Structure 1
């Protein structure tokens, strides 16, 4: 059966996808979470046991290093190693062994002393025996090379031990020998039972012992677990633990780890490494198997709950997704289908699809609404454009952006409106040019049918009118160029013919008047003022005629009067010119005398001003010198005060240094006491002994530094006292200089004031003579200007008389006057 409903398709697909997802998630979680759980729990137990064992061994190594370090810093030991003396070394080890026996409950702590080459010299467990010569192991070699304390688990003649080795260094940091401290590991079994719960036992690989040490009695005394492995020490572990190990142990060799269940017990088997990093045996952690099963059950339960939660989450998520798809996709699509059916039935494009979201479904609804808006808008604009054309409005267009059939509709309507608008605009343009007096109209529109006929008739009418106006324009241009014997000859009809006749008549009348005026103007240019305009005319031409005739009459009268006056002016100007020349000579002599006097006074004034300025400058410099000497005196006083304060500070520094010496001495005593108490504390006081030694060294260095500072401060105080005496003498000398400078300053001030008063008086005299000189110079200039003006007026009067004699009038005739 074929599914047609989108809802049913989504339901079927959701169920199928959910089933596949649940199956895949369950399989993946089983493979990644459940199946690896046993191995993960074993690895976790292995890591926990390894961390516990490493921390226990490290704790014992550090305590051994502290004990060995305390022993290595004893002066008796250092001196005995330097001088190769056995007796002091034996005494040190004996006292050390007694000390540990008295202050601790541990009886398995032993010490051993080596020379600088790593050869054993003495052992605390065999003080009366000389150790056999053996090559140093990896731990001893590392300490010799690095000169630093080291520790590690290993197998020695005493069996399995944790050995800590410390270098013995003299004051020059030279290696004198080595001190080692050996500890057992039996306490680790007790600590494991107390902290974690269960049994811990260490096994030694007999093959490892034979390969490293050969046959040794130490391993022969140990209890066998199997043919290859023995217990590390018969006394460290309880008989029950040893028997349990014999029954449970599954042999594992090399650096492999093993975690297994056997007879109701959990066994974690880890390799044990020696100081060289080689596997020397096994470490077994034996606990109840519930430790493993409890962790595994809890992990299984947690993973099961996680899987169930994930499956429920997937089912809930699938239900939510189906509900969201139903609400956000299916229902909006059903609403969209209903709306489109309604538009199809009613033809109403104003109906819109409801948009309820911004997702793809909402965007689909928005796209459909946008399409409906374009269709509705195109139909509305087409109706509007056609209605506007019917009312005579040719500017309305369909403006929307359309494609397809809507674009064809828009193009057709707009093209029709454009053609009609272009024809009407061409006719309007022709009328506008006619209204503006432009007759060269040419159509730019390619029209067809009736529109083409209308445009052709309009263009012919404008062409005929343009030719007529061109003829009139040519005539007017020639009139503007001074040609008046013209006429319009084109054949015209109607009002244009009447216009042509009126223009030709006006041109003929104007030509006669212009000829008469030209005759009068030519006579006037030749000096003949007796001619006048006689041609009969009307209007503005008659006014022009009367104006020209009156102008000629007035000009004739003026010329006659100018001829009479020019003679009188020429005579008077000649007399003024002679008087001005005489006055100018006298004024020039007076101006020269005043100018010489002014120059002499200017030089005297400059000399006096220069002396006054020098006096003023000297007085100013003297005041500056007085101020500077006073400042020098004050600075010297401040210097003396500062040196006194420095001397006081030096004394205070001396007191502080004395206090530092006292503190260093007391610190040294306290460090000695702390070293004694640390030695008494034994193993626990080893760290305090090292710190006390460092503090004592710092106290000694502080005392030495304090002595050096005391010497430097004493020298500084002596030098400051000498500087203070020299500064006091300098202050007295500067004070005497200051008194002498004050006396000189008063004398220079009096000289400067007198010079300033003298300069001011001479300056006033110089200014008065300067004013007289300026007035005299101005008078001389005015006299010269007057003489020049009189001479010029005389020449102009003669020129005027000659120019006016050019004209011929009714009263005087053509006689010239000089």
Structure 2
């Protein structure tokens, strides 16, 4: 295995695939041989068994056709049809002879040959009978031919039995051949599977033996390359084979070691450690030479930066670095640092001068230099701050003068407000007395409305009771009318019974008259019954008349009751509306009472507020006098600053003070007038 692992990859693949191709060819040749053998078996089976079996079956079919044609000829009465049947029989016999002769030529077993000769002999005995029967049918004597049918049927049955035996024998031979073919097919499959198993096993062993070391080594090298591409220099390759993969692994190991050394140098440079100097591996090591030059350049650059930083710490902003010692971007970096110091020092100097003048209360100083970027923003911010401060001082001066004028006006207005507030308090006391009288009247009105609401509710309840009683009365009248109707029906039934009784009495009298003396007593009874029936009919008619009159009076009572009920419902609705109106009046009275109470509370609160306003007005007058004195002090302080517009301020001060004074007078006068 060590020898194979040290072979080049091309030779490994050629060796493995060569052996695999040989095994595949052997498997294919064995398969072709087996297929050819199976084709021979199939051809032999078809020639010796399948085709003869088809000939035997077809001969049997032709014999059946002959038997059917003979029967049809005996059944047909048309001579032309019988003649056609005779032609069909001759054609069927010829086809039978051809098929059976083809079958007989393919017979290989002696017992089958014996049965075939027996079939030929029996057919030879059957055909004369068939010909005789057909001839009788052609002669117009089908009954003679039908007499031959039992003999023909016996011959045909014996032939069918021999055909069945031949078919069974042929089927048995075919099954034996099929079993032999199956056995040979299984043997061929087993041999082919053995070849395939050997080829597959060798392929697997070859793939694992050749591919696994290659794949393992390539994966290890690829993983190391991926880690190296991601900047991970902790990769370690353990491939030791002598093929191309081992060569790549050893080359990658040297490259990783080189990168680790350079990374150590770069880490020292990034950490500011210039003590680790890079070493070039050869004269062609461009990266090593580049790191050596970078190390020297960074050393000089750091030395210059240290000089500038130390000078800046000492306040020597005029110190500059030597840009001639560098080239390219490093030279631009040093020059940019010098320019940065120049740009920083100039605005700092001028800003310090402006701040010195501001400290001396000179607000006319400004930064005049031309700067860019944030320095221009600083310049604008300082100038804006100075300008804003100067403007604020001027506004404070003007405001102080206005405060002095306004404080005097506030003092006067506060006195007027205090006087007006006292008068307003007296008026509010009078209003409070009137509101108390109004509150008492509103309370009495609300109580009266509540009593009226209770009376309206009681009236509505009584009306509702009356309406309910009328409704019950209407129901009772309806029941009376219904009972009267039922009674009238009963009376009518009694009248009908009396009428029938009268008829029966008349019939009984007639029968008694027919009976003579024997029926005289029965005639007397019949007469009495008839009289009772007449009296019952009269009483029933009188009762019916009275009931009809009662029903009429009950209907009238129901109608009058309905009218009274309608009137009570109208009264109920009116009483309801009156109750709603009284309720509304009661609610309005209660709301009026509550409103008067709220107004009374508000007047009391206004009285207290008015007294508080009067006290506050007196305090405001005192505060205004104090404010005037403080404004005078503030005005003197602001006048000590130079803002660059002192003359304009002096001229504009009177008018500036007068304007705000007039604006502040208006609220005071308005307050005094309102009081």
TM-score normalised to structure 1 length: 0.28
More helix by share: 2
TM-score normalised to structure 2 length: 0.33
Q: Which has the higher contact order (CA 8 A, sep 6+)?
A: 2
